[in-house]
Structure 1
Amino acid sequence: MKDLRRVLVIDDEAPIRKLLRVTLEGNSYHVIEAHNAQQGISMAASERPELILLDLGLPDKNGLEVLREVREWSQVPIVVLTVQDSDEDKIAALDGGADDYVTKPFSVPELLVRMRVALRHSVGAPEKTEFKSGPLVVDIPGHVVKVSGQEIKLTATEFNIVKVLMKHKGKVVTHRMLLNEIWGPNSVEHTHYLRVYVGAVRKKIKLDEATPELISTEAGVGYRLLDLD
C-alpha cells in the first residue's frame, strides 16, 4: 500500500485539530498534531512532514515566528490556516515563506486543493537540519552546537551568530548583514556588538590547540566561517 503523505497541523484549538484530522485522514493523509509553537517547531524537525498547516494565533509564539524559524532550515510546504484575514497578515505570511494562506472558517474542498498545489510545487530533496564544517556541527531546529562531538553552551545571541555564519559558510558575511539578521535594521552601525560576541564564540568553540580556527575576520568587512568539509 502506498505510504500516506504526512501533514503536521500546528493549532492550539482542539476542535480544529480534530476536524482537520478527520478530514485529512479521510483523504489519504497521515496527520501529526502540535498544540503550540514550540511543539510544532520540534515536530517539524523530528517528524519530517511533507506539508504543514500552521495557525498564526498560537499561545506561546506568533505563527509568523514559527514560519521564520522553520524556513531557516526547511523548505517544506507551509499553508497558513487562520482567522486573521487582513491584507497585511497575508502579505506578512507570504513574505515570511508561506506557500499559501487559507482563512477560517474554511471550505474543505478549497483547503484540499491548496494543499495539493503546495505539494506539487515542493522540492523532493530531503530536508537538511544539521550543518557541518570540520569539527563544528550546528543543529538549527534543535539549537545545539557541537565541536568534535562535545556540546557547546552558547547564549541565544551567540547561537544566532553561529547559525548565520554556518548558513553562509565559506562566504564573507558583512557586519551589516549580521547586525540586521540578529539585532534588526536599527543596529546595523553597532559593529562593536559583533566584536564582543564573535570573540566569545571563538573562545567557546576553540576546545584546545588541536581545534582549528573556524571563524576568520575580514578586516573592515565582516566574518567568514571556514568551509572545512
Structure 2
Amino acid sequence: MSVVLIVEDEAQLARAMQINLQAHGYRAVTVGKGRDALKAAATQPVDIVVLDLGLPDMDGVDVIRGLRGWSTMPIIVLSARHASEDKVEALDAGADDYVTKPFGLDELLARLRAASRRAEPRNESPTVATAGFVMDLAAKRVVKGGKEVRLTPTEWSILEILVRNPGRLVTQQQLLTQVWGQAYAKETQYLRVYVAQLRRKLEEDPSVPRHLHTEAGMGYRFDP
C-alpha cells in the first residue's frame, strides 16, 4: 500500500483528500505546515508527496527543495497558483507534476498512479547495524552495547536523516530546514551542538568519529 503525504493547510480539503485516497487503496497522512512535512518525510515511510504551495510557515517551493536535498520520492504540487512562472519555479525546484485547484479526484488519482509508476523502488531496512550501535527505525530505538541509548527527539531526527542517506553528504541547510524549518537554515551552531551530543552517545571515540563525519563547511555524512 503506497503512503501519500498530503501537505495542505485547509483542514477540510486535507481531510476530504485523505478519506478519498484511503477509499482508493492509499494510506494517507496529512500535515498542515511545511516544517511538519519535511519532518514527516524524513521520519516515516512516504512514497508520494501531494503538496500545496501556499503554506502558513514556509513556501511550498522551499519544501520541494528541502525534500530534493535527500529524496527522489515523487512530489505532486496541488496549488491555486495558475501563473506559468509559479509552475516553472516548482518544477525547476524538483516537483514531478503540477495540478491546479480546483481539481477532480479522478485527475488526482491518475496523477498518483503515474507518479507511482515512475517512482524508484525504495528498499529501506527498518534496522541499521553498525560496528558500534544498532538503530531500529521503526521502533525509534538505538541500542549500544546491549543497552538502549536515550536520544532527544531532535537528536533522533538528525540521526535518522543521516542514516537514511548512508555514505552521502547531507548539507547543513538540508538538516536545518528538515529538522527546525526554513527560518533556521543558517543556524549552523545548532547542528554542531547536536552532532557533538550524538557522537558522545554513540561513538567509541567522539574525537575520532567512525560513523558521524563532518564535511567541513558543507555538512555531515553517515558511514555504517
Shared fold per TM-score greater than 0.5: yes
* Mapped pair 1:121 → 2:126: no
Q: Deviations over 1:63-113 (max 9, x none)?
A: 111111111221111101110121111111111111100011012211111
Structure 1 letter corresponding to 2:10 = E
TM-score when scaled to structure 2? 0.59
- Aligned 8 A contact 2:76 2:96 in 1: yes
* Mapped pair 1:33 → 2:29: yes
User: Residues 49 and 226 of structure 1: is their aligned pair in 2 closer, same or farther, counting only changes over 3 Å?
Assistant: closer
- Aligned 8 A contact 2:53 2:78 in 1: yes
Cα distance in 2 between the residues matched to 1:33 and 1:81? 15
SS at match of 2:26: strand
Aligned residue in 1 for 2:55: 58
* Mapped pair 1:5 → 2:2: yes
Out of 71, 84, 94, the position equivalent to 1:87 is 84
Cα distance in 2 between the residues matched to 1:35 and 1:209? 37
Aligned residue in 2 for 1:46: 43
- Aligned 8 A contact 1:74 1:128 in 2: no
Map 1:1-229 → 2, pairs under 5 A: 4-26=1-23, 28-37=24-33, 38-126=35-123, 211=208
Q: Deviations over 1:38-71 (max 9, x none)?
A: 2211211233121110111111111111111111
**Identical columns (%):** 34
Aligned residue in 2 for 1:157: none
Cα distance in 2 between the residues matched to 1:209 and 1:24? 46
1:168 Cα deviation after fit: 11
TM-score when scaled to structure 1? 0.58
Aligned residue in 2 for 1:203: none
Max radius of gyration: which structure?
Answer: 1
**Higher normalized contact order (CA 8 Å, seq sep 6+, divided by chain length):** 2
1:32 Cα deviation after fit: 3.2
1:134 Cα deviation after fit: 9.1
Aligned residue in 2 for 1:196: none
Cα distance in 1 between the residues matched to 2:207 and 2:90? 45
SS at match of 2:122: coil
RMSD of aligned Cα (Å): 5.1
1:36 Cα deviation after fit: 2.9
Cα distance in 1 between the residues matched to 2:3 and 2:73? 11
